A and B are shown apart, each in its own frame.
Chain A
Amino acid sequence: MQHRCFGRYWGLKFKSSFLCLIAVGLCFSPMLAQADFEHEVLPFLEKHCVKCHGGEKTKGDVDLSKIKTMADADSHPDLWETVSFVLEDREMPPEDEAQPTEEEVAVFSKWYKNDYLGKIESKPGIFQPRRLSGPEYRNTMRSLFGFDLEVNVVEAEQTITEKSLVMKLLPTDPPGASGFVNDTRAARLSTTIWDQYSYLADFALEQFSSKRTGPLNSETAEKLVRDFVPRAFRRPVSEDRFSGILKKLEGKSGDALEVALKAELKTVLMSPAFLYRGFLMPTDPKRKRQPVDDFELAERLSYFIWEDMPDRELFEIAGSGELKQPEVMAAQIDRMIASPKSRTLAESFGSQWLLLDQIKDQRNDPVNLKALKNQPLDFLHYLFAENRPVMELVDSKVTFANDITAKYYGNDRKQLKRVNKPKGVERMATPNQKIDLITSVGERGGIITMPGVLAMNEGPIQRGTWMLRQLLGEHLGEPPPDIPPIQSSSKGKNLSFRERFEQHRSDKSCALCHDKIDPLGFALEGYNKAGDVIRKEPTKKKGGIEKVSKVDTSGQMPNGKAFANFTELKSILMTDEREKITRNAIEQTMAYALCRKLERGDRPTVDALTTKILDENGTWRDLIHGIANSVPFRETLNVKKTLAK
C-alpha cells in the first residue's frame, strides 16, 4: 500500500493523509504552455500511470484519467511535483510493473521543468484577514499599553509558571494549514475567546488607568485617544472616528470621564480592526492586483520579524510614505533583526518549524528542560540575528551551552566561564554561553545533534522522520494503521534492532518511505536516548557470555551515496542535499512570514531565492530580506467584491 504523498506546496504539513494529492481548489488563471502536453506527456501517463491512477483504480486518490489538456494539467498544480518526484526516484511505477525508459522519463522531466514550472507566474496570494494568534495578541497588547499583562504568581527556581495572563487565559491556537499558529484561518473566534478578550481588555484598561500619572481631563483624554486608537488599529484613523469617540467623552470629568474613556478604549480593543489583521487596508477595486500600502507592509514586517505590532519608528516611517524606498526598507529590516524582539523568530517560528516544543526532560525537571530547550533557541537566534549562512543550521562551529549541557561538549566545555550559583539556591537555570566547537564539531555541530533535539525523537525512525520532514522538507504520509509489531530476536540469533527492523520493513510499500527515513535515523545510533554520544559499545550479558551489540551507523542515501557514520552523512547533507534543505528553509520561513500555506504563485520566489542563497552561501538575513521584498509579501490580489449581507 502506498501511503505517502509529496507536493511540497500543497501537501498537508504534519499529518498528511491519503487524500492530500488532489485536495486543491486554488483560483488562478489558466495559462498557455508551449510544450505539447497532449502529444508528449499524455501518452506517457496513459502508458505507465493510468492503470492504477485513473478510471477504475485511483490509488492514493490520484486520478489522472480526467486530465486531457494542458489546461487540465494546470488545474492540478500539486500533482506534477509529486509525479516528477516519484519518477526521478524510481518509486513509480512499482517494481513489478513495466518500467519507463530513461528517455521517456526525460521527456516528462523536460516538460515539467521547462514548460510547466518555467512558466509559473509570480503572484501574490489573497491576504485573508485573520485573527491575531495568542502570542501576537500578547505582544501587541504589551506594545500598545507599555506593560505586560501578568499573573500574580511567584516564579521560584525549578518551578514552571505561566506569567502571561494572555497565554494563561486564551485557548492554545492550533497550527493552521501552513503548520504555524500565526496562520489562524482555522482557529475561529468563539464565545469563549470573546469572553477572554473582554476580560483581558478590562484587565489591561484597569491597570492602564491605575498607572496613569497626571490628571484626566478632556484635554488629556483627547490626547490619549489620538495616540492610542491609530496604534491599536496599526494605521491612521479618520477624523470621523475620533470625533465619534470624543463625543462620548464630551462634558464629562472625574469618574464619569474615566468610565466613559474605558468604555471607548474597550470598544477599540474588541473591534475586528484590532483583533484581526488586514481588514482596513484600502484596496483599489479596479485593479486585480496591487502593492499593499505602507501600513500593511509595516504590519507584515513587524509581525514577521517581531510577532508584534509596528513600533513607533516603523509606524512613523510608514506614515511618511518612505517605507517602500529600498534603502529605507532594508534599514528597517536590519534594525528589526538587530532588536532583541527578533528573538520571536527563534521562539515562535523556529520552535514551531523544528517542533522544539516537543523537547522534554526525562525527569520533568524545569532546570534541565530549560537548558535543553534554550540551546536550539539561542542557536537559531544567533543564526537569524547574526547574519549566519542558512546552511549553518545543519553544520556550525558554534553552539550554546550552560553548566547542565556542558557535559555534552568534551574539551570544548572548558571555554565556559563558571557561573556561581548564589548561596542558598539549590538548582537554577543558568544562561547559555556561546562556545566554539573545536574538538566536538563533528559530533555536535548543527541542530541535528543538539542533545534536546536528539532526545525528543525516540529511536532511529523518529529521528530519521524528523530530519526528512523538518529539514529536508519531505512530506511523508502517515504509516498505515495495521503494522505488526517488530519481532523480537529469535532464539540462537543475536540480531540487533536494526537487523530486526530491516526484516520488519522489507515489504515494498514500507520501503518507499523507510529507504529514506532509515539511513538518516540509524546514522544517529551513536547517540543514546538522552542524546549522549555512546563511547563504548553497549554490552549485554547473556548466559554468562558478554555479547556486544554493535552500533551500526552506516547507510546509503536513496541516490546511492554511502556513508559510514553521522559525520559523513552530515557532509552529504551539506553538499548533495544542500538544495533541498535550503529550499525547505525558505519555504518554511515564507509560510511563516505570509501566515499561510504556500501557493503556486509563490513558487518563482522560492526558486529565485533558493538559487540566490545557494550561489552566494546566503545568510538568514539575506533570506529574510528576500522574502520581505518578494511579490507575495509586498502585493495582494484583490478578490471579487460581493454585496454585504
Chain B
Amino acid sequence: MTRTWNTSRRHFLRGAAGALVPLPFLNIMENTAAKNLAGEVEAPLRFMTLFKPNGVHPPSWNINGGTESDFRMSPLMAPFSKHKDDLLILDNMGDFGFSSHANSARRFLAGQSNNTKAASMDQFIADKIGGDTPTRSLELTTEGLFTNQIGCSYISYDQKGDPIPRESDPQLIFDRLFRNPMGDPAQRKKMTNLLDRVSDDAKSIQRKSGREDSETLDEYFTVLRETEQRLENMGDTSAATKVDFTKLKRPLPAANLDEQVETMLDLVALAMWTDQTRCISYMLGNSNSRMIFDFLGVTEQHHYLSHFFRNFSRHNIDGLLKISLWHMEKFDYLLTKLKSYKDHNGTLLDNSIVLFGSGMGHSDNHTAQRIPIVLAGNGGGRLKTGRYLRYSENQDLSRLHLTLMRQFGVDIPSYGEATEALPGLDGGEFDQFEERPFDSWTKVEGGKLTVQGRLRMSENLDEAKVFYMDVAGQDSVRIEIEFRDFHSFNFPYHVGTPITLTGTVSEKNGRQVMSKISTLKSVFGNSKPGTRNG
C-alpha cells in the first residue's frame, strides 16, 4: 500500500451519473421491475449493508441532547451530514453487557451474538428476493481471515449459521457481474474462436506425438469438446444478460485500500442499478481489523488505536479519529453514488435501504450498548427518514432486523430474541429517551469562570484539544484544554453529559474561553470515574 494514490485509476465509472454507462441500461429497470395491481411499474427494493469495524469512539460519535427532528449531528457524522434528510439515525441500540469482536460481527446482522444457528438477516432477504436477479447476493470485504477468532471475519451467515465466504477484489466482482464468459454472445464467440485455434495446435502436436502424449492430449481434446458443448447449450438467458455490458470499462487494480473500497462501492451501486443483484453485505474490515491506514498517514493498527484508553495518547486518538472519519466518508461515498443514479421516479437510494454501523458501541471497553446504527434511504417510502430516534431503553438489534426483513417481505414471526418489530422507523410512535432536566449557566467569581452545561467535542476533529460547553441562551464556552487536565479529569468520559466546570477565563472573538481547569463535577453521575476503561 505504498504506491501513491491515484484517483484516475478508478474513473471508469466516474463522472455524472452513469454518463459512461451505455444507453440500453436506461431501460433495464423498466424491464425487470414488477408491476403492481394498478399496472404501474414498481421499483425493486434493494438492501445494502456496510459494516464498520472496531466499534466507535463514543465521545465523537454520539449525539447528545436534541430531539427526533431537531438535533445536531456529531463530529464523526460530519462527512455524511449532507444526507441528513435521507437518514434515520438510531440510538440506544444493543443488548446488555460486553461484546467480543467475534460476537459483535455476528450481532451486526444476526441480532444477538448467540443467534448462531440461524442465517443473518441479509441472507433471509437474499433468499426472498435474490431469485429475481442474475446474482442472488454479494458478500464483500476488504481484509484477510482472522483465523484465531474466525467469527471476526464474517457478518453474513447461511441458514445453518455458517459463515459465507467473502470476496475482496473489485476486479473479480466486476468480472463476475459483467464479464461472465458464457453470459453474452460476444464472449461466447470469442471462446468458440479460441477453441478452434487451440484445437489446431493440439492436432499439430498430436501428429508428431507418441502414444503417451496421445493419452494426455485426449484429456485436452475432451475438455475442448465439453466446453464447445456448454457454449452450444447456452441459449438466450434472462433479459438482463441480453444487455451488452462490453462497453463498461473494467476497473484497474486498486493501489490502496481507499481505491479498493471506492471501486467496490462503485460496483455496488452499478450492480444494484443494473439489477444484477439486490442484496449486498460489505465489511470495511474484520470486526477487530488489524489494518494499517498508511495512506492516511496513520501507522498504527486500527484495533490498537480503537483501544483508546488502554493505549492512550493524543496522537493515538488523532489516528483513530482519522480512520473513523474515513469510514464515514465511505458511507457518504456510497450514499452519494446511489443518489447519482436515477431509478424510476426517484434515485437509487430512494428505492434502497442501507444499513450502516457496527456490532459494538464503545471500542475500548467493548460495550454492546449505544451501537452505532444508521439507516439510509427510505426504501420506496417504507421508512421515514430525516430523524434521530433515541429509544428510552436498549433495543436488541434483532428487533431492527425483524422489522427490516419484513419490509422485504420475509414472513417470520420472530428473529433471535425479537418477536416484535422495532417501532418508530416508519414514523410511528416509540418510547423516546428522556433526559433528566438540568440548568445551564455561567458565573465568574474571583477571576474564575464556573460553567454548568453539556460538554461536547469540537465539530472539527482536527482540533483535538478543543471542547465546548453548551449553555442555554448564550454562546457556548470554549474549552482549550491542556494535556494534563485532559488526562487527569478524564475529559472525554464526560462528553455528552452535563457537568459543572471551574477554571481560568479569557475572551477570544467575543467568546468565553477556559484553558486551565481547577474542578470538574458531574451533575448526575460520578465525577471521578477512574482513569482507565472509563
What are 26 inter-chain pairs, A to B, with CB distance below 8 A?
Answer: A128-B215, A150-B253, A152-B171, A153-B144, A154-B1, A154-B168, A156-B286, A156-B290, A158-B146, A159-B153, A159-B290, A165-B172, A189-B219, A191-B223, A191-B230, A198-B181, A198-B194, A203-B175, A263-B193, A272-B205, A279-B209, A279-B213, A423-B299, A426-B304, A639-B212, A644-B207
Q: Whole-angstrom distance between the alpha carbons of A157 and B206 in the complex?
A: 50
- Asked if B305 and A263 make an inter-chain contact with CB atoms under 8 angstroms apart, the answer reads no
- Asked if A156 and B289 make an inter-chain contact with CB atoms under 8 angstroms apart, the answer reads yes
- Asked if B143 and A276 make an inter-chain contact with CB atoms under 8 angstroms apart, the answer reads no
- Asked if A365 and B147 make an inter-chain contact with CB atoms under 8 angstroms apart, the answer reads yes
- Asked if A364 and B144 make an inter-chain contact with CB atoms under 8 angstroms apart, the answer reads no
- B147: A residues at CB distance < 8 A: 159-160, 364-366
- A131: B residues at CB distance < 8 A: 216
Q: Whole-angstrom distance between the alpha carbons of A153 and B201 in the complex?
A: 37
Q: Which residues B246-264 have CB closer than 8 A to chain A?
A: 250, 252-254, 257, 260
A530 an interface residue at 8 Å Cβ cutoff?
no
- Asked if B194 and A159 make an inter-chain contact with CB atoms under 8 angstroms apart, the answer reads no
Q: How many chain B residues touch the partner (CB < 8 A)?
A: 67
- A366: B residues at CB distance < 8 A: 147-148
- Asked if B220 and A272 make an inter-chain contact with CB atoms under 8 angstroms apart, the answer reads yes
Q: How far is the CB of B496 from chain A (nearest CB, A)?
A: 27
Q: How far is the CB of A237 from chain B (nearest CB, A)?
A: 12
- B290: A residues at CB distance < 8 A: 156-159, 426
Closest to A151 in B: B169
- Asked if A424 and B304 make an inter-chain contact with CB atoms under 8 angstroms apart, the answer reads yes
Q: How far is the CB of B2 from chain A (nearest CB, A)?
A: 13
A419 an interface residue at 8 Å Cβ cutoff?
no
**A interface: dominant SS:** loop
Given A153-B144, A161-B145, A191-B227, A644:B206 Cβ within 8 A: yes
- B171: A residues at CB distance < 8 A: 152, 203
Given A199-B181, A273-B205, A156:B292 Cβ within 8 A: yes
Q: Which residues B264-290 have CB closer than 8 A to chain A?
A: 285-286, 289-290
B325 an interface residue at 8 Å Cβ cutoff?
no
Q: Whole-angstrom distance between the alpha carbons of A154 and B168 in the complex?
A: 8
Q: Whole-angstrom distance between the alpha carbons of A152 and B143 in the complex?
A: 9
Given contacts A128-B215, A639-B212, 5 further A-B contacts (CB under 8 A): A128-B212, A129-B213, A152-B172, A199-B181, A424-B300
A212 an interface residue at 8 Å Cβ cutoff?
no
Closest to B303 in A: A426
A488 an interface residue at 8 Å Cβ cutoff?
no
- A363: B residues at CB distance < 8 A: 148
- B299: A residues at CB distance < 8 A: 422-424
Q: Which residues A195-251 have CB closer than 8 A to chain B?
A: 195, 198-199, 202-203, 206-207, 210
Choose from A189, A190, A198, A280 the contact partner of B205 (Cβ within 8 Å).
A280
B142 an interface residue at 8 Å Cβ cutoff?
yes
Q: Whole-angstrom distance between the alpha carbons of A423 and B191 in the complex?
A: 52
- Asked if A644 and B144 make an inter-chain contact with CB atoms under 8 angstroms apart, the answer reads no
- Asked if A152 and B144 make an inter-chain contact with CB atoms under 8 angstroms apart, the answer reads no
Q: Whole-angstrom distance between the alpha carbons of A129 and B143 in the complex?
A: 39
Given A189-B223, A279-B209, A426-B290, A129:B305 Cβ within 8 A: no
Q: How far is the CB of B99 from chain A (nearest CB, A)?
A: 19
- A16: B residues at CB distance < 8 A: none
- Asked if B305 and A154 make an inter-chain contact with CB atoms under 8 angstroms apart, the answer reads no
- Asked if B145 and A160 make an inter-chain contact with CB atoms under 8 angstroms apart, the answer reads yes
Q: Which residues B137-156 have CB closer than 8 A to chain A?
A: 141-148, 150, 153
- Residues of chain A at the chain B interface (Cβ within 8 Å): 126, 128-131, 150-161, 165, 188-191, 193-195, 198-199, 202-203, 206-207, 210, 263, 266-267, 270-273, 276, 278-280, 283, 363-366, 422-426, 638-642, 644-645
Q: Whole-angstrom distance between the alpha carbons of A154 and B300 in the complex?
A: 15
B210 an interface residue at 8 Å Cβ cutoff?
yes
- Asked if A424 and B148 make an inter-chain contact with CB atoms under 8 angstroms apart, the answer reads no
B226 an interface residue at 8 Å Cβ cutoff?
yes
Given A271-B202, A364-B147, A366-B147, A154:B219 Cβ within 8 A: no
- B153: A residues at CB distance < 8 A: 159
- Asked if B198 and A425 make an inter-chain contact with CB atoms under 8 angstroms apart, the answer reads no
- Asked if B143 and A272 make an inter-chain contact with CB atoms under 8 angstroms apart, the answer reads no
- Asked if A153 and B168 make an inter-chain contact with CB atoms under 8 angstroms apart, the answer reads yes
- Asked if B209 and A644 make an inter-chain contact with CB atoms under 8 angstroms apart, the answer reads yes
Most buried by A among B168, B175, B197, B215: B197
Closest to B196 in A: A267
Q: Whole-angstrom distance between the alpha carbons of A165 and B172 in the complex?
A: 10
Q: Whole-angstrom distance between the alpha carbons of A283 and B202 in the complex?
A: 17
- B450: A residues at CB distance < 8 A: none
- Asked if B211 and A153 make an inter-chain contact with CB atoms under 8 angstroms apart, the answer reads no
- Asked if A639 and B194 make an inter-chain contact with CB atoms under 8 angstroms apart, the answer reads no
Q: How far is the CB of B310 from chain A (nearest CB, A)?
A: 11
- A190: B residues at CB distance < 8 A: 223
Q: Whole-angstrom distance between the alpha carbons of A63 and B523 in the complex?
A: 96
Q: Which residues B226-256 have CB closer than 8 A to chain A?
A: 226-227, 230, 250, 252-254
B357 an interface residue at 8 Å Cβ cutoff?
no
Q: Whole-angstrom distance between the alpha carbons of A194 and B145 in the complex?
A: 28
Q: How far is the CB of B201 from chain A (nearest CB, A)?
A: 4
- Asked if A267 and B194 make an inter-chain contact with CB atoms under 8 angstroms apart, the answer reads yes
Q: Whole-angstrom distance between the alpha carbons of A642 and B207 in the complex?
A: 10
Q: How far is the CB of B14 from chain A (nearest CB, A)?
A: 17
Closest to A423 in B: B300
- Asked if A644 and B214 make an inter-chain contact with CB atoms under 8 angstroms apart, the answer reads yes
- Asked if A267 and B197 make an inter-chain contact with CB atoms under 8 angstroms apart, the answer reads yes
- Asked if A207 and B253 make an inter-chain contact with CB atoms under 8 angstroms apart, the answer reads yes
Q: How far is the CB of A169 from chain B (nearest CB, A)?
A: 9
Given A150-B253, A270-B194, A642-B214, A279:B223 Cβ within 8 A: no
B508 an interface residue at 8 Å Cβ cutoff?
no
- Asked if B201 and A271 make an inter-chain contact with CB atoms under 8 angstroms apart, the answer reads yes
Given A156-B290, A157-B290, A195:B144 Cβ within 8 A: no
- A158: B residues at CB distance < 8 A: 146, 148, 290
B316 an interface residue at 8 Å Cβ cutoff?
yes
Q: How far is the CB of A198 from chain B (nearest CB, A)?
A: 6
- A645: B residues at CB distance < 8 A: 206, 214
Choose from A191, A206, A425, A642 the contact partner of B226 (Cβ within 8 Å).
A191
Q: Whole-angstrom distance between the alpha carbons of A198 and B182 in the complex?
A: 12
- B145: A residues at CB distance < 8 A: 159-161
Q: Whole-angstrom distance between the alpha carbons of A191 and B233 in the complex?
A: 15
- Asked if A266 and B168 make an inter-chain contact with CB atoms under 8 angstroms apart, the answer reads no
- A426: B residues at CB distance < 8 A: 290, 301, 303-304
- Asked if B253 and A641 make an inter-chain contact with CB atoms under 8 angstroms apart, the answer reads no
Q: How far is the CB of A71 from chain B (nearest CB, A)?
A: 24
B170 an interface residue at 8 Å Cβ cutoff?
yes
- B1: A residues at CB distance < 8 A: 154
Choose from A206, A270, A271, A639 the contact partner of B210 (Cβ within 8 Å).
A639
Q: Whole-angstrom distance between the alpha carbons of A128 and B210 in the complex?
A: 10
Given A423-B300, A424-B299, A128:B216 Cβ within 8 A: yes
Q: Whole-angstrom distance between the alpha carbons of A188 and B222 in the complex?
A: 11
Most buried by A among B144, B146, B168: B144
Q: Whole-angstrom distance between the alpha carbons of A193 and B220 in the complex?
A: 11
- A207: B residues at CB distance < 8 A: 253
